[in-house]
């Protein structure tokens, strides 16, 4: 059965292998019971693909780090599932009339796991360190918009800006903006490395994340704002998705993430498991290298875009685990507007052929296209992450249907980013995950060419709209700017938006009170383990 939402934040996290390293877990025998094999009451077991090398919210992101940060650390504000900003460590705030100062009042009585107080000085130290050393973080640019941080008194902190920063709230709601114990910052600096300490509902104890009994400042996204009910949570490092599935079925783990349709279909009939779906603030797109002929021509990009059948991708490649997209922003973000559907380059193979002819290509006897003696062909670059192979193969088939042969090149994610930085591709199957419409600025402004603007897109009119949106504090006016920008982007076609992914968590029914929160993060403050017969 599919539950559209779960319940809240889970007990305490025990890492198998964190800090000490851990070997891959072999597939367990496919025997299944309603209980989790070998589990202790009040202990949850979750699979993860890789362990974080170091616990530092401001460091380079990884899947393992992103998974554990919300349990070990707290942020000043949080987002609810509807994108609303809610108070967390900051219980209230005021913004100056000119938008250049945000003053926050902190919750009283909050302490870090090391016993030191979480006060304005700690907030100041956290963000000052971020500005100095957080270059690898995905939110570094947002943090650098803060001109200065002032500890007004122990319970009051002020953020000062040189110009209004509309994405400030998105920045500080991310787990990467967690508040860090200054004592742990000093210790890590002295040692040259080391895990940092937070104030979250769970704390790191050797290889274990355990219940923080002093926790009394949970966010409003949880019913239980005190200490978690669980004693521990074990994270088992299981790199292979099929092995994770077998572990869940055998009761070796309680929670896994699913991104393969066959796995979802198999678990839908499992009476011991409930599936929970969340539409993500993410977009998977087909990108065009706008600086490499012939894809530097808008007409050619539009022709290829019209050949893509998005509904077929969602149905056949994803097994329904996604929603066909028509705009550069997903519908979960501000700045999205249904009217953008009118600007979509929808599936129309005949229009594709007409545009190729308009661009000067001639159809050969075998249906392929040639211009000035050069055949129209492309290399489609993507990562090895599932389900990219299935999607790329379907795109290859759809483009072959209009006479455009495509070679698929799959590399690991790092190699893909290196290749796009050098412009070594024609087509790119890629994604972004973000929590603010400023995603357009990050991934499509000319200033980011060679880095996060992987397709080399440049349109001065779009850049001006995105820059204005970055500093517009009126929400309606800001959204209007992003709608205008998206209209131009859809016409220019540096991307063909493909789909918005759906996140699926499979959770054994012995775990009760857990639910996916914002961006599908599993909230565990309210989670319990049901007594077993």
Give the residue with greater pLDDT, 28 vs 43.
43
Band of the pLDDT at 10, cuts 50, 70, 90?
A: very low
pLDDT for the residue numbered 364: 94
- Burial class from Cβ neighbours inside 10 Å (0-12, 13-18, 19+) for residue 513 reads buried
Answer for the pair 286, 292: CB distance below 8 angstroms, yes or no: no
Percentage of the chain beyond pLDDT 70 is 92
Answer for the pair 307, 353: CB distance below 8 angstroms, yes or no: no
pLDDT tens-place string over residues 177-206: 999 999 999 998 888 777 899 999 999 875
DSSP string for residues in 176-200: GG----HHHHHHHHHHT-------S
pLDDT tens-place string over residues 220-251: 999 999 999 999 988 999 999 999 999 999 99
pLDDT for the residue numbered 11: 32
pLDDT for the residue numbered 195: 87
* pLDDT at 472 > cutoff 70: yes
Domains of the chain are: 2-72+203-272+509-529 (3.40.190.10), 77-177 (3.90.76.10), 282-502 (3.10.105.10)
| Mean model confidence pLDDT for the chain | 91
Answer for the pair 79, 86: CB distance below 8 angstroms, yes or no: yes
pLDDT for the residue numbered 54: 87
Average pLDDT estimate for 485-495: 99
pLDDT for the residue numbered 15: 43
pLDDT for the residue numbered 33: 39
Question: Could you tell me which of 331, 350, 501 has the C-alpha nearest to residue 432?
Answer: 501
| Residue labelled with tokens 């054994």 | 508
pLDDT for the residue numbered 448: 92
Least confident of 17-26, 155-164, 368-377, 482-491: 17-26
Indicate the DSSP class of residue 343.
Answer: G
Alpha helix segments (H runs only) across 401-474: 413-421, 439-444, 460-471
pLDDT for the residue numbered 433: 92
Average pLDDT estimate for 20-25: 44
Residues 6+ apart with CB under 8 A from 422: none
Residues 6+ apart with CB under 8 A from 382: 388, 389, 391, 392, 408, 409, 410, 411, 416, 428, 429, 430
Query: 11 to each of 42, 228, 240, 489, 525, how far by Cα in Å?
Result: 8, 5, 25, 45, 6
pLDDT tens-place string over residues 210-228: 999 999 999 999 999 999 9
Indicate the DSSP class of residue 476.
Answer: H
Band of the pLDDT at 9, cuts 50, 70, 90?
A: very low
Band of the pLDDT at 207, cuts 50, 70, 90?
A: low
Task: Give kind and range of the element (H or E) at residue 102.
Answer: strand 101-106
* pLDDT at 160 > cutoff 70: yes
pLDDT tens-place string over residues 38-91: 455 799 999 998 888 889 999 988 888 899 999 999 999 999 988 899 999 999
């Amino acid at each position: 059965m599919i539950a559209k939402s779960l319940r809240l934040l889970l007990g305490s996290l025990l890492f198998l292998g964190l800090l000490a390293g851990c070997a891959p877990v072999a597939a367990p025998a496919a025997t299944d019971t309603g209980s989790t094999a070998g589990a202790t009451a009040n202990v949850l077991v979750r699979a993860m693909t890789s362990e974080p090398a170091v616990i530092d919210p401001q460091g380079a992101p990884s899947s393992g780090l992103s998974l554990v940060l919300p349990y070990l650390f707290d942020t000043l504000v949080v987002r609810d599932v509807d994108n609303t900003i809610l108070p967390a460590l900051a219980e209230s705030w005021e913004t100056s009339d000119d938008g250049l100062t945000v003053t926050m009042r902190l919750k009283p009585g909050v302490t870090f796991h090391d016993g030191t107080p979480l006060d304005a000085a700690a907030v100041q130290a956290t963000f000052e360190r971020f500005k100095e050393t957080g270059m690898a973080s995905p939110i570094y640019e947002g943090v650098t918009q803060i001109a200065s941080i002032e500890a007004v008194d122990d319970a009051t902190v002020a953020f000062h800006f040189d110009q209004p920063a509309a994405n400030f709230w998105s920045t500080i709601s991310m787990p990467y903006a967690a508040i860090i114990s200054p004592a742990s910052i000093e210790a890590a600096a002295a040692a040259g490395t080391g895990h940092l300490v937070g104030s979250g509902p769970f704390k790191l104890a050797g290889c274990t994340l355990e219940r923080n009994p002093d926790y009394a400042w949970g966010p409003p996204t949880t019913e239980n704002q005190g200490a978690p009910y669980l004693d521990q949570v074990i994270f088992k490092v299981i790199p292979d998705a099929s092995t994770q599935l077998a572990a869940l079925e055998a009761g070796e783990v309680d929670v896994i993430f699913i991104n393969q349709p066959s796995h979802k279909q198999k678990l839908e009939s499992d009476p011991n498991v409930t599936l929970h779906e969340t539409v993500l603030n993410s977009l998977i797109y087909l990108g065009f290298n706008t600086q490499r002929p012939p894809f530097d021509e808008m007409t050619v990009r539009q022709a290829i875009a019209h050949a893509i059948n998005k509904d077929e991708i969602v149905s056949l490649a994803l097994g329904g685990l996604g929603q066909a997209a028509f705009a550069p922003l997903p519908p979960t973000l501000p700045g999205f507007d249904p009217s953008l559907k009118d600007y979509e380059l929808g599936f129309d193979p005949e229009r594709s052929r007409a545009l190729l002819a308009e661009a000067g290509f001639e159809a050969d006897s075998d249906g392929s296209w040639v211009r000035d003696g050069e055949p129209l062909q492309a290399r489609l670059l993507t990562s090895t992450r599932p389900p990219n192979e299935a999607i790329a193969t379907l795109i290859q088939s759809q483009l072959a249907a209009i006479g455009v042969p495509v070679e698929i090149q799959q590399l690991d994610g790092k190699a893909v980013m290196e290749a796009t930085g050098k412009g070594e591709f024609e087509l790119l199957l890629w994604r972004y995950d973000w929590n603010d419409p400023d995603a357009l600025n990050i991934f499509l402004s000319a200033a980011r060419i060679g880095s996060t603007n992987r397709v080399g897109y440049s349109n001065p009119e779009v850049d001006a709209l995105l820059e204005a949106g970055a500093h517009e504090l009126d929400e309606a006016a800001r959204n209007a700017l992003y709608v205008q920008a998206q209209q131009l982007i859809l016409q220019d076609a540096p991307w063909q938006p493909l789909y918005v992914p759906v996140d699926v968590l499979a959770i054994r029914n012995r775990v009760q009170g857990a639910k996916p929160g914002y961006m599908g993060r599993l909230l565990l403050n309210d989670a319990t383990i049901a007594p077993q017969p």
